[in-house]
Chain A
Amino acid sequence: MQDATPALPLRATVDREVTGARVIAGSVAVLVIALFLSLSVGATGVTLSSLPRAAWGAIQGSTDPVLAREQLILLGIRLPRTILGLFVGAALGVAGTMMQGLFRNPLADPGIVGVSSGAALAAVATIALGNGLFLPWTRAFGVYALPFAAFLGGFATTILLVAIAGRQGQMMVGTLLLAGIAIGAIAGALTGLIAYASDDRELRDLTLWSMGSLSGASWPKVVAILPFALLVLIVLPKVIRALNGFLLGEAEAFHLGVDTERIKRLVILTTAAAVGAAVAVAGVVGFVGIVVPHLVRLLAGPDHRFVLPGSALLGASLLLVADVIARMIVRPAELPLGIVMAAVGAPVFLHLVLRRGIGGVE
């Protein structure tokens, strides 16, 4: 078995490569449709067909009031909302995939291991105490105050998790999962405490926000998440091969040449950053990180070369479509995004658990 390359037929592997490429191409198409829908649909009845006119008007500096209204709706409201939805969905899809790969468990998800709860706690604290105790913080960071706080919350949770699970110099993945659940519960309790102490107006904000929504989308928020989106994009190609190795186990990943400690740090930091930023702009939206990677694996197999980009694309699509549903279903009011996502995601999650139970997945 030295250098002779036998003339063997390359069947299913190649087929699965083709399937993977097709799934990615299909996901791009689905995302384009989702983007189109998200830009076209809304309470006001302005459709995408007005976009060229509105954009041209904006360039020319037109003062026509009809045009100005279309510009505001399309460029000022729906476009940033769509971009945010794109990022949040992609970030949650990627974070879920990475955690599942690292923990070797298809049920791992930032929502389950407490990273989302930690980010949520920090964000809720910033909202409720932003004009009191946290005033210097909000003054210092402006539009970045909330995403930064959420990022730090997710990050702090992650560090705590790593500290608990990594006491013996090596990270114990099982401990990490269980500790995450406990820390998530503590963060949830503290969030509840802050909500309990809030006044009615804050409470309504918090409630809506803890159920997830893109309704507060704006250009400053888009700018605020940009660095986080970039970070995820840079890290993504670096961890694909390593995560494939991790699926076999940490020791096996090492045997295959993966610098396991470095990859663990990289994945955990990236996940914290992505989830923190997503929670900061959209609140807590569950299940994207579980449902989407699972779907991509069903279609393309578990190779991260396909699962990671596929989950980013389909995560964004799913979130945008869920947001469109949230906007349309009780028009002109809006349903919280988290409710729509949970209605779709929880049954899929349950299905996964049942399948594991009867031995479909070990």
Chain B
Amino acid sequence: MLEARAVTVERRGRKLLDDVYVKVPPGRVTAIVGANGSGKSTLMKALAGEMKPCDGDVLLDGRNLKAFTAADLARRRAMVPQATSLSFPFIVIEVVRLGASVPGFDAITTRAHAIAEEALLAVDLAAFRERLYYELSGGEKQRVHIARALCQLAAATRGPQDSAMLLLDEPTASLDLPHQALVLDQARQQAEAGRAVAVVLHDLNLAAAWADELIVLKSGRVLARGAPAAVFNDALLSEAYGCPIRTNATPAPGTPYLLPHLLRLLPHAARRDRRTFPSLLS
């Protein structure tokens, strides 16, 4: 179980996270949603141990993250950040195999190799195996890093009672529809295998469809927590995003479907809050 207790993160006097309590339980997919700048990535970084909270604690199985060494953590947690750049001529499989280069076991073993190959298959990149990483498209690069994280979780050895976590920061941001589903399905499978999965998502419908639990952030605070059907209601989401949102029922019970009131679709009379900028149009 990964837990944030009263976590506050400040940068240059601005509170990015303010007294945040969240739990990322094993065996479940927890989606973190919220508007831009609401603190989603900061929360992920705090949960990963990458960003130290100014106040409060992040606990892994009841033990403070500060007490773990980087190597200890790497054996129990894999993370895919929002963006990663790489200026050196690695081929795809080599980047995936870097996931198995956690201290304490050997990335060169046959087992690590085999795991890397399977991770590549899992994100549908087998055909890209020998391609140069920096020549890939954005979505392909994103999947390489997801494969790297899957490889890290599978290859890193840990004690039988030690849980493991997968943290994904906007893993679907540049993916096409089938690959969004593919990646989230992989995340679900990790959860079903007993791992704690936390994933930042912008697409609320993906969050509703794939997550067991939702955490809605607004301005660095937790606005709501719970199952999608309980959390997603018009008033709450409209407040979280500052725009009118309507929840609809889907054929799948318990999975709401959301429609933002896109200005373009509203009748002209209702477009009162449309803002125009004359200097941009001249």
Contacts and interface: CB of A to CB of B under 8 A. Distances in A.
Interface in B71-123: 71-75, 77-79, 81, 84-91, 93-95, 97-99, 101-104, 107-108, 110-111, 113-119, 122
B50 interface: yes
B237 interface: no
B99 to A, nearest CB: 7
A339 to B, nearest CB: 30
A8 B119 CA distance: 12
Residues of A contacting B: mostly? loop
B71 A259 contact: yes
B4 interface: no
B69 interface: yes
Interface stretch (A29-37, A192-200, A201-209, A246-254): A246-254
Interface in A275-313: 297, 301-303
Interface stretch (A9-17, A137-145, A150-158, A264-272): A9-17
B113 A13 contact: yes
Nearest to A100: B88
A13 B107 CA distance: 12
A358 interface: no
Contacts of A8: 114, 117-118
Nearest to A356: B87
A149 B12 CA distance: 40
Given A6-B117, A256-B99, A256-B102, A13 B85 contact: no
Interface string A104-125: 1110000000000000000000
A10 B113 contact: yes
Interface string B20-52: 000000000000000000000000010011100
Given A1-B119, A251-B50, A257 B102 contact: yes
Contact of B193 (A2, A16, A252, A255): A2
Contact of B114 (A5, A260, A302): A5
B154 A2 contact: yes
Contacts of B97: 13
24 contacts: A1-B118, A5-B110, A8-B114, A8-B117, A8-B118, A10-B110, A10-B113, A12-B91, A106-B88, A244-B98, A251-B50, A252-B81, A255-B74, A255-B152, A256-B98, A257-B71, A257-B72, A257-B73, A257-B74, A258-B70, A301-B94, A302-B88, A303-B90, A362-B134
Given A13-B97, A255-B74, A257-B70, A1 B87 contact: no
A226 interface: no
Contact of A12 (B70, B88, B129): B129
Report the interface size class on chain B. 35 or more
A206 B154 CA distance: 58
Contacts of B94: 13, 16, 301-303
Interface in B152-169: 152-154
A244 B280 CA distance: 46
Contacts of B115: 1, 5
Contacts of A12: 91, 93, 129-130
Given A8-B118, A297-B89, A362-B87, A254 B70 contact: yes
Contact of A10 (B71, B81, B117, B130): B117
Nearest to B153: A1
Interface of B: 45, 48-50, 69-75, 77-79, 81, 84-91, 93-95, 97-99, 101-104, 107-108, 110-111, 113-119, 122, 129-130, 134, 150, 152-154, 193
A93 interface: no
Nearest to A262: B70
A86 to B, nearest CB: 27
Given A5-B115, A257-B72, 16 more contacts: A1-B153, A2-B154, A5-B110, A6-B117, A241-B101, A245-B101, A247-B90, A249-B84, A251-B45, A252-B84, A256-B101, A257-B73, A257-B74, A260-B70, A297-B89, A302-B88
Nearest to A298: B89
Interface in A29-48: none
A361 interface: yes
B118 A104 contact: no
Contacts of A106: 87-88
